[in-house]
Structure 1
Amino acid sequence: MFKRFRTLRQNPLIRDLVTETRLCKKDFIYPLFVIEGENIKNSIESMPGVFVMSIDYLLKECEELLKLGVTNLLLFGIPKIKDSIGSAALSEEFIVAKSILAIKKYFGDAFLISADLCFCEYTDHGHCGILDEKGHLHNDATLEILAKQALILAESGVDILAPSGMLDGMILTLKQVLEKSNFSHIPIMSYSTKFASAYYGPFRDVAQSTPSFGDRKGYQQNPANRREAILESLNDEKEGADILMVKPALAYLDVVREIREHSLLPLAVYNVSGEYSLLKLAQKAGILDYQRTLLETMVSFKRAGADIIISYHTKEMCELDLIN
């Protein structure tokens, strides 16, 4: 006798009872872009529904998010002035640090705040740190200033540090510095497998971080290499990462599943700007059922093994009542 699989699909109540993969608001982290100045809320043409905001508008956005039940944030900063070493991220006036202080002042511990830890938004050349005389990223020199940036964020009250530069020794360096400075309680969500991807295009428009020369293939992961991608994350786990991450998400679900099978750490995916923009453009063109496609995409991340989804769709998912 053949197996009748359809018996568990015949009505919504049964289908819901046996659903294997579920989404929850607490699974999601919402990225936000903050800029120096006041009374600024600029829309991003390539990312409909995404804005660059000054701190005053950021606080208003936090009020809306709290009403929706969105409490996990990831902050990115955009400085007024950029230079060769990203010194705007090494200053007491660091825009992300000031934003964290402001959110904590007005909302207490209502939000779990992660901060992107890198230099690509702050350097005039758009690379992720200090360059050597040949124009290549100087890994070890960048580790030194990365540690300084981390301490500024720690002192501001950040809840999670999220280093994204794909530097060798990044996690070990940060763990040692945090330990010595009495910040060992701050977890690190490492961009442990971050590919040199074309899907980042719209983000670079927002953060004004497109490299002025060359590219980031010398330090970000080769999209063609699956085994190396897994090794990158497992190495960060050995160095002390608390949460691993795969970025981008949609084109790399095989890597997400492999890392999930090899690690017991919490695993995040970053549903990046290009993935977001493609879906929003498809919605505008009316070529698919947008809400169903959006939900199906998010479920695919969880089904592949992600515990955490970083997505520009987070607020929208709540407004559309697609997640509980």
Structure 2
Amino acid sequence: MNSGSFPEVRPRRLRSTPAMRRLVAETRIDPAQLILPLFVRDDIVEPVALQSMPGVVQHTFDSLRGAVTEAAEVGLGGVMLFGVPADSAKDAAGTAATDPDGVLNAATRVVAEEVGDAIVVQTDLCLDEFTDHGHCGVLDASGAVDNDATLERYRDMAIEQARAGSQLLGLSGMMDGQVQAVRSALDGEGFEGVAVLAYAAKYASAFYGPFREAVGSTLRGDRKTYQLDPANRREGLREAELDVAEGADIVMVKPALSYLDLVADVSAAVPVPVWAYQVSGEYAMIEAAAANGWIDRDRAILESLTSIRRAGAEAVLTYWAVEVARGLKGLR
């Protein structure tokens, strides 16, 4: 304090104008740090709007081409593809996931041809969309998910997705040893250049609800025996460190907003990039609150993404990726 009892240190000076606040901002968002999840369905002739996720659709192959072209034009870092097979194509082993002409592999070829030189083509590697029971793996005789039998399916999926043109495989099933199994399969088939994104700290969250509409989930029961308990923090960090040791090129925390402590923990501990997934429930809550006039939608979107980046995520999967990128580029 000075002799007049007024503060000598005035942090408000750096908040005085929009230009000053922009100049000293510690966290920034760039379109290249955003990844757009996309759903493609093989039994529709026009896009299907999702009731629980306003503005998001299940794409046809034709509309998918337009969506990925726009993603590339606005400078996104990548797109993450999820396949939605017809119910008649689902079975206990999720065999459509390894069909070269199945919806996800066929869509991957389309996207790789369309924008593979402009953005990173990424694919979800998990069985839940393809199994009639909706679990992320195959079941044993007792009805439990068989970890090691599932790894064999993941190995086959990885090879087919790489053949289709995926440049980065998103391992989201939370099976023990999945990174090592997939990495060895890829390397054994000459796909050493295909990267592995490990959904390392993926929690058994209530915020996945709208996603299950998006992928036509037929889940019976829950996924608490393989996804992480929301109460556990150290366990999430342990999972990330295990995945890095097995060869993951990038690790993911999912969901994002309820797990910012994990984003910070993991980003401080591992030597590889850390991403986060702003999941369907996070998207739906902001959209619903904004639709009711309870919050400022645009500010809430940017604030939520900024918080994820501030916690340490170097890239974010978000359904607002294109809209935010257009706004950042002044294209609205």
Q: TM-score, normalised by structure 1?
A: 0.96
Select 2:281's aligned residue among 262, 274, 286: 274
Report the alpha carbon displacement of residue 106 of structure 1 after superposing the two structures with TM: 3.2
| Residue type of the alignment partner of 1:54 | T
**Range with bigger deviation, 105-114 or 173-182:** 105-114
| Residue type of the alignment partner of 2:264 | R
**C-alpha distance in 2, partners of 1:22/1:287?**
26
Select 2:157's aligned residue among 149, 154, 172: 149
1:278-289 to structure 2, matched below 5 A, reads 278-289=285-296
Report the alpha carbon displacement of residue 261 of structure 1 after superposing the two structures with TM: 1.3
Matched with 1:222 is 229
Matched with 1:293 is 300
Matched with 1:260 is 267
| C-alpha RMSD of the superposition | 1.5
**C-alpha distance in 1, partners of 2:287/2:13?**
36
1:190 maps onto 2:198 in alignment: yes
Matched with 2:143 is 135
| Residue type of the alignment partner of 2:90 | K
**Range with bigger deviation, 105-114 or 122-131:** 105-114
**Cα distance per residue 1:195-245 (max 9 Å; x no partner):** 000000000111122412x21000000000001111011110111100010
**Cα distance per residue 1:252-308 (max 9 Å; x no partner):** 001111111111210000000000000000110011111111111100001000001
**Cα distance per residue 1:33-77 (max 9 Å; x no partner):** 011146320000000000001111111222333333335100000
- Paired residue secondary structure (2:196): coil
Answer with 1 or 2: which has the greater Rg. Answer: 2
Identity of aligned residues (%): 40
Matched with 2:4 is none
Give the paired residue count: 323
**C-alpha distance in 1, partners of 2:116/2:83?**
21
- In the alignment, structure 1 segments of 5+ residues that lack a partner are none
- Paired residue secondary structure (2:258): helix
Matched with 1:247 is 254
Matched with 2:242 is 235
Matched with 1:315 is 322
- Paired residue secondary structure (1:45): coil
Q: Are the counterparts in 2 of residues 25 and 323 from structure 1 also a CA contact under 8 Å?
A: no
1:83-232 to structure 2, matched below 5 A, reads 83-212=91-220, 214-232=221-239
- Paired residue secondary structure (1:188): strand
**C-alpha distance in 2, partners of 1:76/1:53?**
10
| Residue type of the alignment partner of 1:35 | R
- Paired residue secondary structure (1:115): strand
**C-alpha distance in 2, partners of 1:27/1:10?**
28
- In the alignment, structure 2 segments of 5+ residues that lack a partner are 2-6
Matched with 1:49 is 55
Report the alpha carbon displacement of residue 322 of structure 1 after superposing the two structures with TM: 7.4
